[in-house]
């Protein structure tokens, strides 16, 4: 945490970005002077440790069914007050806060009753927020993105709108269990009384923004596109999907407004309770759209690859092109454009399984990559250690082609090459010509992995040093929204300059090795098809590749 600038030093405008993720609430404050921004405050509250009274485990309430996952809207309110109190007492001159925005885990939903509007506009500053929130909930708990219990509802919604393809083309995604629409449908059927008592169904983002403005905040198109309910083309609720989801839902959904909309100002409650100013509240968005801004991806051609528990590739798209295979998602982007996102569940997990199998340290792992050639002499591994999202694999199995399990170094190269080629193959639907990659996540610290990435994609790879891209993205969106409201909007390139990675981390692609991967990539695709039981044995093609 950085202290405030002592008085006498240059005094800039402050913008607050909050990120309510699955496991914690983070605040980042940036100070802006002209077009220069720097981070002056950064703090996080992990839910389990800070609020043990809610009994969450990694942010999830105790489970009664293994496929269900809920969190607590009251806990989120408690966390919102606690983190804003930290900002208020940080020593920063909070009167300089011009705007606040936020990011929230996507897909989760919060159900408010008919008293909510009145109660939110009259919060008592003498009382903590959480105790005043419990009475306005029509449902005590909020289903979140880890819930996978709605397969039946997904099928029903898809059927009602004319099939999965139609739903994907209109909303950007086929029906996914964790998406909000199927979750709402399940609640409406399983608790009709609770659903009838619901006046507003918020996303986590618009719920928290509503608590800040003391009224009703809109949903931005970025987060709305995680609901299976929004028409991508006009960025408004799509009546067919809304009608297919639950009766009377159209009246219960907040409006959708552009990501830079001013939802209101910090309400009298926050001013009286914490001494905060009536700063503008810019519409909140989902964590993926906010991360797009927070890692500095404000143009098509620049993508981020996050190497975490799961691996994710995402980037801005000018047009809402949709993945015909149904595994990728299209969300609206906070810039007014779109973003594509594809998620691979066998990320760090697969790398670690290979590392552990040979008792390798990270240094051994890097060395194995160093001593093996690009293309691995036609030896391929399909790393489905766990069920995979992309391509969809329910019964996981690892497949090896021309690769002996005893060859440790070749297995290390094979897992890394497979992951990078798979990301390249399964992101072609975005039709984006990728020239620059910002690599984030734990494994991005490994230079040899990034070298394979650069050579497979034929793109320049930079290591991003942003540690909480969603919270930083929210702070940058607060700045952007404020400049729009002032009538002097700044270009996104200026807003995201702070997030651009250091040029010293650049890894350039090697043209010879890139040519090798261009040759190998279609054979890798054939290996995947064979492993899925959808194509012939690719071994002869791999042998020809190895002999070339």
Q: Which residues bind ligand XUL (CB under 6 A)?
A: 21-22, 105-107, 145, 178, 226, 286-288, 329
The nearest distance, CB 286 to ligand XUL, in angstroms, is 6
Q: At what angle do helices 408-425 and 511-531 cross, to 10 degrees?
A: 90
CB of 103 closer than 8 Å to CB of 29: no
In 3-state terms, what secondary structure has residue 542? helix
Residue closer to ligand XUL by CB (options 176, 365) is 176
Residue closer to ligand XUL by CB (options 103, 411) is 103
Alpha carbon distance 388, 137 (integer Å)? 36
Classify residue 528 by burial, with Cβ atoms within 10 Å: 0-12, 13-18, 19+: buried
Residue closer to ligand XUL by CB (options 321, 514) is 321
Residue closer to ligand XUL by CB (options 147, 448) is 147
What the block records as the tokens of 19 is 């990120």
Residue closer to ligand XUL by CB (options 323, 417) is 323
The nearest distance, CB 178 to ligand XUL, in angstroms, is 6
The nearest distance, CB 291 to ligand XUL, in angstroms, is 9
Q: Kindly give the pairing relationship between strand 200-203 and strand 109-112.
A: antiparallel
In order, the DSSP letters of 266-317 are: --HHHHHHH-----EEE--EEHHHHHHHHTT--STTEEEEEESSSEEEEEEE
Of 193, 185, 159, 187, residue with least CA distance to 174: 159
Q: Kindly give the pairing relationship between strand 380-383 and strand 398-401.
A: antiparallel
The nearest distance, CB 470 to ligand XUL, in angstroms, is 8
The nearest distance, CB 17 to ligand XUL, in angstroms, is 16
The nearest distance, CB 288 to ligand XUL, in angstroms, is 5
The nearest distance, CB 139 to ligand XUL, in angstroms, is 20
The nearest distance, CB 145 to ligand XUL, in angstroms, is 4
In 3-state terms, what secondary structure has residue 338? strand
CB of 196 closer than 8 Å to CB of 105: no
Of 23, 507, 1, 30, residue with least CA distance to 293: 30
Q: Half-sphere exposure of residue 464, counting CA atoms within 13 Å on the CB side?
A: 30
CB of 399 closer than 8 Å to CB of 382: yes
Q: Which element (helix H / strand E) includes 367?
A: helix 362-371
The nearest distance, CB 342 to ligand XUL, in angstroms, is 10
The nearest distance, CB 483 to ligand XUL, in angstroms, is 27
Widest distance between CA atoms in the chain:
77
Residue closer to ligand XUL by CB (options 105, 419) is 105
The nearest distance, CB 315 to ligand XUL, in angstroms, is 15
Residue closer to ligand XUL by CB (options 178, 500) is 178
Residue closer to ligand XUL by CB (options 222, 458) is 222
First to last CA, the chain: 56
Q: Which element (helix H / strand E) includes 44?
A: strand 36-46
Residue closer to ligand XUL by CB (options 218, 286) is 286
Residue closer to ligand XUL by CB (options 264, 286) is 286
Alpha carbon distance 436, 430 (integer Å)? 15
What the block records as the tokens of 189 is 């059927």
The nearest distance, CB 226 to ligand XUL, in angstroms, is 6
* Residues sharing a CB contact under 8 Å with residue 507, sequence separation 6 or more, in sequence order: 447, 450, 451, 453, 454, 460, 461, 462
Alpha carbon distance 495, 473 (integer Å)? 10
What the block records as the tokens of 377 is 């002499």
Residue closer to ligand XUL by CB (options 107, 174) is 107
Residue closer to ligand XUL by CB (options 96, 329) is 329
Backbone φ and ψ for 270, nearest 5 degrees, come out as -70, -30
The nearest distance, CB 389 to ligand XUL, in angstroms, is 10
DSSP letter at 345 equals S
Residue closer to ligand XUL by CB (options 21, 496) is 21
CB of 332 closer than 8 Å to CB of 221: yes
The nearest distance, CB 467 to ligand XUL, in angstroms, is 16
Alpha carbon distance 78, 62 (integer Å)? 19
Residue closer to ligand XUL by CB (options 14, 472) is 472
User: Is the previous residue joined to 391 through a cis bond, with omega within 30 degrees of 0?
Assistant: yes
């Amino acid at each position: 945490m950085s202290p405030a600038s002592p008085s006498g030093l240059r005094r800039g405008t402050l913008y607050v970005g909050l990120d309510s993720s699955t496991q914690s609430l983070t605040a980042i404050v940036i100070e802006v002077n002209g077009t220069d921004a720097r981070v002056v405050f950064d703090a996080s509250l992990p839910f389990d440790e800070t609020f043990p009274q809610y009994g969450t485990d990694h942010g999830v309430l105790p489970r009664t069914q293994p496929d269900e996952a809920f969190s607590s809207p009251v806990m989120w309110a408690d966390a919102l007050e606690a983190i804003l109190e930290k900002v208020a007492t940080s020593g920063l001159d909070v009167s300089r806060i011009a705007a606040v925005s936020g990011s929230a885990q996507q897909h989760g939903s919060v159900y408010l009753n008919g008293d909510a509007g009145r109660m939110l506009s009259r919060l008592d500053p003498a009382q903590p927020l959480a105790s005043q929130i419990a009475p306005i909930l029509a449902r005590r708990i909020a289903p979140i993105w880890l819930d996978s219990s709605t397969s039946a509802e997904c099928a029903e919604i898809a059927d009602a709108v004319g099939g999965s393809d139609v739903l994907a083309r209109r909303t950007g995604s086929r029906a996914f269990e964790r998406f909000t629409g199927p979750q709402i449908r399940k609640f409406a059927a399983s608790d009709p009384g609770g659903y009838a008592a619901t006046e507003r169904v918020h996303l986590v983002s618009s719920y928290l923004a509503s608590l800040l403005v003391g009224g009703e905040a809109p949903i931005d198109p970025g987060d709305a596109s995680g609901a299976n309910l929004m028409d991508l083309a006009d960025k408004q609720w799509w009546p067919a999907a809304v009608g297919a989801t639950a009766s009377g839902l159209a009246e219960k959904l907040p409006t959708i407004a552009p990501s830079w909309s001013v939802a209101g100002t910090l309400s009298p409650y926050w001013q009286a309770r914490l001494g905060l100013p009536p700063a503008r509240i810019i519409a909140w968005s989902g964590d993926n759209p906010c991360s797009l801004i927070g890692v500095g991806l404000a143009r098509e051609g620049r993508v981020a690859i996050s190497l975490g528990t799961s691996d994710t590739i995402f980037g801005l798209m000018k047009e809402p092109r949709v993945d015909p295979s149904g595994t990728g998602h299209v969300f609206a982007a906070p810039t007014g454009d779109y973003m594509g996102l594809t998620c691979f569940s066998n990320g760090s997990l697969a790398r670690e399984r290979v590392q552990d199998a040979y008792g390798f340290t990270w240094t051994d792992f890097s060395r194995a990559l160093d001593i093996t050639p690009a293309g691995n002499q036609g030896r391929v591994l399909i790393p489905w250690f766990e069920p995979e999202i992309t391509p969809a694999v329910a019964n996981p199995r690892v497949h090896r082609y021309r690769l002996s399990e005893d060859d440790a170094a070749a297995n290390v190269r094979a897992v890394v090459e497979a992951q990078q080629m798979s990301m390249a193959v399964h992101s072609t639907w975005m039709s984006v010509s990728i020239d620059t990659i910002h690599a984030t996540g734990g494994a991005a610290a490994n230079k040899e992995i990034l070298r394979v990435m650069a050579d497979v994609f034929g793109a320049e790879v930079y290591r991003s040093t942003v540690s909480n891209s969603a919270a930083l993205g929210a702070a940058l969106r607060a700045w952007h929204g404020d400049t729009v409201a002032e009538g002097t909007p700044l270009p996104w390139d200026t807003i995201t300059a702070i997030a651009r990675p250091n040029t010293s981390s650049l890894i350039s692609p090697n043209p010879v090795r890139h040519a090798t991967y261009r040759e190998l990539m279609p054979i890798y695709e054939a290996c995947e098809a064979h492993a899925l039981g959808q194509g012939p044995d690719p071994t002869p093609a791999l042998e020809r590749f190895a002999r070339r």
